[in-house]
Amino acid sequence: MSPAPDVAAWLARAHPDRRHAAQWMRSAGVALLPLGVRWSAVKVSEHEGLAVAADIDGPVIHDPGGRSVYFLVPTTVEPAWSCPRTEYLGTACWLTTPAPTTVEPPGVHWVRPPDALRLVNPRALHAALTARTAVVS
């Protein structure tokens, strides 16, 4: 599946300097983007995150070096987010974000690339993570 051409621009709009972010995406294949502006992220361990990502719609990033998975969620989630073994990342956090066409290793890549139309539903993510925790515990 190839992402729509405007997805890179959608991602770059999160950065205060869109052109800078777009240039990094083109040249390095990644850009460091701020969270809490257009979206936030829920950080989950690699093992748990990859297991849950298969059942979740919306953009999901895998960072094999950091052994983490990031689910991009709406910025409005923060006050209500409470899920064991996860970390909510919002304002004052930055995330290494791959170019929308980077969908496999090596390095940071999309498990599910963004389509610029929706983010991960936080209720569905919470339910999937809670169910996974109950099975594993």
In 3D space, the residue among 18, 39, 22, 135 whose CA is nearest the CA of residue 95 turns out to be: 39
Amino acid of residue 123 = R
- How does DSSP classify residue 50? H
Report yes or no on 1 lying in a domain: no
Report yes or no on 31 lying in a domain: yes
**pTM of the predicted model as reported, rounded to 2 decimal places:** 0.91
Residue, of 136 and 76, whose pLDDT is higher = 76
Give dist(CA 27, CA 117) in Å, integer. Answer: 25
Report yes or no on 108 lying in a domain: yes
Report yes or no on 46 lying in a domain: yes
Report yes or no on 123 lying in a domain: yes
pLDDT of res. 81: 87
Report yes or no on 16 lying in a domain: yes
Query: Per the omega criterion (within 30 degrees of 0), is the bond before 3 cis?
Result: no
Dihedral angle at the C-alpha atoms of 37, 41, 19, 3, nearest 10 degrees? -120
Number of domains making up the chain: 1
How confident is the model over 27-72, as pLDDT tens digits? 999 999 999 999 999 999 999 999 999 999 999 999 999 999 999 9
In 3D space, the residue among 80, 85, 71, 63 whose CA is nearest the CA of residue 114 turns out to be: 71
Report yes or no on 2 lying in a domain: no
Domain that holds residue 49: 7-136
